[in-house]
Structure formats: C-alpha cells, structure tokens
C-alpha cells in the first residue's frame, strides 16, 4: 500500500485527492496546510497526522523516512505559484509527486524540474484530467485515424461562473494563479494539444480578469476559444436550466457532448499514475508554453477569426 502526504489539505480540491488516494487503496498518513480548517480529513483518513507549520511537517516526513515508513508520493494542492517550490521539496525528500495543474506558471521552471527528476530518480506527475474524459478520448481516437493534413474548425466555449470571492483570493491574482486562462483554461489548452497535435499559431483577442478569448491553430485544427468566469456570459440554455457552468466544443459545427462526466476523473488520474502511466513534465509543456505566450501578448480585440461570444 503506497503512503501519501498532501500539501494544501484545507483547500477546495484536496478532498478529491483524498478520495482518489482512498479509492486507489493507498494511505494518506500526513497532511499539511497553513490553514487548519481540515476536518474533512476525518471523512477519509482519520488516523492521518496534520501539521500547519512547514517545519513540523518536514520533521515528520524526515522521521517517517528514518523509521521505515517512508512516504511514496507527496500530492501538491497548494496555489499555483507555489507548485514548483513544493515539488522541489517533495523530490528532495525522495518522494514521487502528484501536482495539481498548472504544473508551473513558466516554461523555464519545467527544465529545472526535469533536472531534479534526473538527479533524484523520482517522477513528477500532474493532473490533466480532461485527457481522461470519455468524450475527449473518443474524439482523439477519431482524429488520430485521419490524415495529418486534415484540419478541423473547432469552437470552444468554457464558462464557469465565479462570485466576487474569486478575485479576492489568490486565484484572482495573475502573479499567483497565472490569470483565468492559466487557472481554468489550462485544461482545454492541454486537451486541444492532446487531440489535435502541435500548436502552430496563438493569437489573443481579449484578456481580462474575468474573460479571455483568442484563436489557436494546431496541426489538425483551427480553434476559436472563449473562456469566462462572468455569469453574464452564460448563454440562455444554461440560465434556463439554472446552471452556472456551460462547456461546449463543436468540431465542424457538431457538438461534442462533454458537459458531464467530470466527477471521477481524479480517481482515474491517480490510478494511471500509480500504474506508471501518469502525465509528466513533458505532457504539460505545450499548454504551459501557450499560456505564458497568452499572458505576454497584446490582445488585438475582435477580428474575423474571433469566437462569436466576443462580439
């Protein structure tokens, strides 16, 4: 049974990691967060030790390794800008890593992680769960069979409304989250690369604290994309159903149904990692490079290849 520690145990996503550890028959022995609102641990691992000071957490991890109870994996669920520091800590402690997305905010950080993986012999895995969504797997299987020069016209619309708290939290701080495109859009930038191949062109039409939009050309697709956390952008079909999330991908004007089926993906992600088939640093590179470019480009405003929601 693999032993886990978790950094960022009090946060929104941490329970999904606890559940994935449990469902994959592993044990969470140690948890750490600077916030002590972590009673959720009892629902999964009532015997886990919890620390809210890094030094005490570190002492315990070291103690476990000296007493034959070495941690196998450290899961990182801290804010995005802390990922690389927490990954380096885990690798230095001799554990593999499962880190939430985006693995890092800048591509040069990936190279230092590769160097540390090589030096420690431990692997850095990341959570890119849209690659595991059945609808996306079906689409990839279809596209893989097509000739390399076939280009699809794709529209991607991803609206997931967030209240005022989002901007007040670290998620609303571009230096800490990478902005809305990095924090939420990373999933679809990765998924588009996974399905349609190498990224060729990356144009930004709009970039703000609540909304981003642009045009991406991949080896096998031309993509108009629109991402928003503003409830005012929700289309009528979502509002009528009382939903605050609208996710749509059309390929050649045909809808790929992928609005449901998100719940179990962390469990599958952990299963694949434990089987040695996890997404690592190299799989994360394309989307992180794209996001770094998007942050630096000057938005052009509406153009002929803009997503219709931007009009």
Q: Which is nearer to ligand NAD, 14 or 284 (CB)?
A: 14
Q: For residue 184, which phi and psi values (nearest 5 degrees)?
A: -115, -45
Strand order in the sheet with 211-218: 199-207, 211-218, 221-228, 152-160, 245-251, 254-256
Q: Between 122 and 171, whose beta carbon lies closer to ligand NAD?
A: 171
Binding site partner of 245, from ligand NAD, ligand HP7, none, Cβ cut-off 5-8 A by kind = ligand HP7
Where does residue 86 fall: left (phi above 0), alpha (psi -120 to 50 degrees), or beta otherwise? alpha
Nearest-approach distance from CB 129 to ligand HP7, in angstroms:
6
Cite the DSSP H helix spans in 83-183.
83-92, 107-120, 134-144, 165-168, 174-177, 180
Site string (79-118) toward ligand NAD, x via CB under 6 A = xx-x-----------------xx-----------------
Of 12-51, binders to ligand NAD (CB under 6 A) are 12-14, 32-35
Taking contact as CB under 6 A, which single stretch among the options 10-18, 251-259, 278-286, 294-302 is the one that binds ligand NAD? 10-18
Report d(CA 127, CA 175) in Å as an integer: 21
Whole-number Å distance between alpha carbons of 5 and 27: 9
Closer to ligand HP7 by Cβ: residue 61 or 184: 184
**Residues ≥6 apart with Cβ < 8 Å to 97:** 73, 74, 75, 76, 87, 90, 91, 122, 123, 124, 125
| Candidate list 5, 6, 11, 247; residue touching ligand NAD; CB under 6 A | 11
User: Closest separation between CB of residue 7 and ligand NAD, Å?
Assistant: 5
CA–CA dist 33, 298 (Å, integer): 37
Residue 171 in contact with ligand HP7, rule: CB under 6 A? yes
State which of positions 129-158 bind ligand HP7 (CB under 6 A). none
Burial track 205-223 (b if 16+ CB lie within 10 A, e otherwise): bbbeebbbbbbbbbebbbb
Answer for which of 93, 125, 126, 160 binds ligand HP7 (CB under 6 A) is: 160
**Residue 60 engages ligand HP7 in binding (rule: CB under 6 A):** no
157-186: contacts with ligand NAD (CB under 6 A) = 183
Residue 267 interacts with ligand HP7 (CB under 6 A)? Answer: no
Which of 68, 88, 70 minimizes the C-alpha distance to 78? 88
* Position 41 contacts ligand HP7 (CB under 6 A): no
**Which residues contribute to the site for ligand HP7 (CB under 6 A)?**
12, 101, 160, 162, 171, 183-184, 187, 245, 262
């Amino acid at each position: 049974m693999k032993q886990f520690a978790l950094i960022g145990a009090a946060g929104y996503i941490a329970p999904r990691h606890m559940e994935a550890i449990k469902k994959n028959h592993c044990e969470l022995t140690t948890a750490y967060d600077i916030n002590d609102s972590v009673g959720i641990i009892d629902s999964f691992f009532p015997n886990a030790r919890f620390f809210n000071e890094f030094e005490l957490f570190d002492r315990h991890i070291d103690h476990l390794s000296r007493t034959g109870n070495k941690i196998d994996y450290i899961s990182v669920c801290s804010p995005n800008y802390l990922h690389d520091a927490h990954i380096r800590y885990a690798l230095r402690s001799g554990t593999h890593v499962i880190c939430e997305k985006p693995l890092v905010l800048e591509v040069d950080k990936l190279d230092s992680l590769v160097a540390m993986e090589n030096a420690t012999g431990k692997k850095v895995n990341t959570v890119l769960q849209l690659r595991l969504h059945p609808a996306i797997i079906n689409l990839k299987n279809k596209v893989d069979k097509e000739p390399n020069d076939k280009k699809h016209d794709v529209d991607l619309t991803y609206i997931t409304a967030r209240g005022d708290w989002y901007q007040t939290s670290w998620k609303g701080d571009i230096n800490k989250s990478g902005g809305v495109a990095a924090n939420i859009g990373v999933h679809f930038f990765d998924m588009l690369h996974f399905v349609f191949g190498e990224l060729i062109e990356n144009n930004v039409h709009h970039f703000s604290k609540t909304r981003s939009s642009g045009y991406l050309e991949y080896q096998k697709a031309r993509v108009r994309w629109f991402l928003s956390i503003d409830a005012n952008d929700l289309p009528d079909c979502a509002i009528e159903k009382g939903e605050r999330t609208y996710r749509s991908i059309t390929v050649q004007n045909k809808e790929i149904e992928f609005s449901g089926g998100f719940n179990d993906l962390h469990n599958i992600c952990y299963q694949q990692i434990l089987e040695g088939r996890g997404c690592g640093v190299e799989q994360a590179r394309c989307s992180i490079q794209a996001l770094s470019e998007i942050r630096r480009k000057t938005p052009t405003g509406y153009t002929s290849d803009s997503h219709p929601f931007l009009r």
